[in-house]
């Protein structure tokens, strides 16, 4: 141990393999060690405070130190610390949570399957889609569409759905039967002079052409985040979902709403599907389901999908899918308490109250010399950094500008997330107007400090 050192940072470099990290740079740079959290702030091991502008990873909706969630976990730990729901067994926290979610669903849903992360939820959705079509005697209807810059997870199947190159490179992905439709980002992908509605029409036409080229009898489903998260907080253009859903319905293609980031009030409605006008056949959710306090996710399915699964499991003798920790009673109890707090404190109302300030401050950054676009809905948004506002040219190499602003924001006591050259913001839902102003004051200082670095 003496050769490694006793500090947390040195031991981290010695023993921890970090996700989404430049591992080579980490050997020199090391970690920021976060020791505690309170409200919308976290504190490092030198007691420096940071406003957590990303709610950790899009998830700590109620902020840090919510005692009711701590007590819900402790009480359930004492009563039934762990159990499963395999083989006709169950427990009340899992039952109660499933019932609650069905009651909250944005469209009629039949059953809830529980997993532990957004990746597992979306991976489960892929398997259910294939199982469903086999049950219906359609063995060729298995291809799944996602979108360029979409994000759906990092398992073999969900990383294939994810439309980001670095999630594919040298992992030998994507796998077969998964392909990607065009990204609905008007700022980057619209033609000169093309309105949002015209852009949406063109995207729907391109989607239809893609389905026809693949063969409608082979295309099973399309995965869509209501608002793209890790791909840069891309808000689809007006009329987009109306038009693409007409195409999907025409060719009997299921719609999966990936609500892992958008669900539970983030967009100003309980579901992003409600904000964006989506009518999904399958809905996946995670993150804010438990305010990120414990790992839990859920998949909601329509009755048609459930009935097909019943028939197929009767034929086979079992429904051969599940996770050890599906509906873990402690995680389920914390999720139930989280949902109760949302309702009792009218978190949707709070988001609607403070979101106008958040969006106003966000969009004002579009005037900054480094910002090409500011975009968002509710309490989620991003700015896109550009070297030239007129031509939309990026800084070279791509990603450097984002990294610079991300680092400077941290120096100014604000944690954001750089996704290439887009800087994302997704604060806890409980954030106050005073702290929203501090978020944008600190981000503005970071942008100003980045000008000589990027243009010097």
Reading the chain (456 residues) residue by residue, the pLDDT tens digits are 456 778 999 999 999 999 999 999 999 999 999 999 999 999 999 999 999 999 999 999 999 999 999 999 999 999 999 999 999 999 999 999 999 999 999 999 999 999 999 999 999 999 999 999 999 999 999 999 999 999 999 999 999 999 999 999 999 999 999 999 999 999 999 999 999 999 999 999 999 999 999 999 999 999 999 999 999 999 999 999 999 999 999 999 999 999 999 999 999 999 999 999 999 999 999 999 999 999 999 999 999 999 999 999 999 999 999 999 999 999 999 999 999 999 999 999 999 999 999 999 999 999 999 999 999 999 999 999 999 999 999 999 999 999 999 999 999 999 999 999 999 999 999 999 999 999 999 999 999 999 999 998
CA distances from 323 to 84, 116, 159, 336 (A): 9, 8, 19, 20
Could you report the per-residue pLDDT of 232-247, keeping only the tens digit for each? 999 999 999 999 999 9
CATH architecture of 32-65+346-455: Alpha-Beta Complex (3.90)
Of the candidates 168, 167, 164, the one whose C-alpha atom is nearest the C-alpha of residue 183 is 164
Question: Radius of gyration (Cα) for the chain, nearest Å?
Answer: 22
Q: Spell out the domain ranges in the chain.
A: 32-65+346-455, 69-344
**C-alpha closest to that of 355 among 272, 275, 433:** 433
Output the pLDDT for position 5.
77
Tokens linked to 440: 């944008």
3-state secondary structure of 341: helix
pLDDT in tens, 58-83: 999 999 999 999 999 999 999 999 99
Domain spanning 69-344, CATH architecture: 3-Layer(aba) Sandwich (3.40)
Tell me which H or E stretch contains 201: helix 196-214
Distances (CA, A) of 284 to 118, 266, 336, 351, 381: 7, 15, 17, 22, 21
Strand 380-385 with 49-52, pairing: unpaired
Retrieve residue 27's tokens. 């050997």
Q: Report the half-sphere exposure of 149 (CA within 13 A, side-chain side).
A: 19
CA distances from 119 to 116, 159, 372 (A): 8, 8, 31
d(CA 267, CA 426): 10
């Amino acid at each position: 141990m003496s050769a490694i050192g006793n500090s947390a940072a040195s031991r981290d470099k010695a023993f921890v393999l970090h996700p989404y990290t430049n591992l080579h740079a980490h050997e020199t740079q090391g970690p920021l060690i976060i020791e505690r959290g309170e409200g919308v702030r976290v504190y490092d091991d030198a007691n420096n405070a940071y406003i957590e502008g990303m709610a950790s990873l899009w998830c700590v909706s109620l902020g840090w130190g919510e005692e009711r969630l701590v007590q819900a976990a402790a009480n359930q730990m004492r009563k039934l610390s762990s159990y499963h729901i395999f083989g006709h067994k169950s427990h009340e926290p899992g039952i109660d949570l499933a019932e609650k979610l069905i009651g909250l669903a944005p469209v009629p849903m039949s059953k809830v399957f529980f997993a532990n992360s957004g990746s597992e939820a979306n991976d489960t959705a892929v398997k259910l889609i294939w199982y469903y079509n086999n049950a219906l005697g359609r063995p060729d209807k298995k291809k799944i569409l996602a979108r360029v810059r979409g994000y759906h997870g990092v398992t073999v199947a969900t990383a294939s759905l994810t439309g980001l190159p670095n999630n594919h490179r040298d992992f030998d992905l994507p796998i077969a039967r998964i392909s990607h439709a065009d990204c609905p980002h008007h700022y980057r992908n619209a033609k000169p002079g093309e309105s949002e509605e015209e852009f949406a029409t063109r995207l729907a036409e391109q989607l239809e052409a893609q389905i026809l080229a693949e063969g409608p009898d082979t295309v099973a489903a399309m995965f869509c985040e209501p608002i793209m998260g890790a791909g840069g907080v891309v808000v689809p253009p007006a009329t987009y979902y109306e038009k693409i859903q007409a195409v999907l319905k025409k060719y009997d293609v299921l719609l999966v709403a990936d609500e892992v980031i958008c669900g539970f009030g983030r967009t100003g409605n309980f579901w992003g599907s409600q904000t964006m006008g989506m009518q999904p056949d399958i809905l996946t959710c995670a993150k804010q389901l438990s305010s990120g306090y414990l790992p839990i996710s859920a998949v909601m399915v329509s009755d048609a999908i459930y009935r097909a699964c019943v028939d197929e499991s009767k034929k086979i003798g079992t429904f051969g899918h599940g996770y050890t920790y599906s509906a873990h009673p402690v995680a389920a109890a914390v999720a139930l308490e989280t949902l109760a707090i949302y309702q009792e404190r009218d978190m949707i109302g709070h988001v609607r109250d403070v979101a106008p300030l958040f969006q106003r401050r966000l969009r004002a950054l579009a005037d900054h010399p480094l910002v090409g676009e500011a975009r968002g809905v509710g309490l989620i948004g991003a700015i896109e950094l550009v070297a030239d506002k007129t031509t939309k040219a990026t800084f070279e190499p791509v990603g450097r500008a984002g990294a610079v602003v991300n680092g400077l924001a941290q120096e100014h006591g604000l944690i954001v997330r750089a996704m290439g050259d887009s800087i994302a913001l997704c604060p806890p839902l409980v954030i106050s107007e005073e702290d929203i102003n501090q978020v944008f004051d600190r981000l503005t200082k970071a942008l100003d400090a980045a000008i000589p670095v990027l243009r010097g």
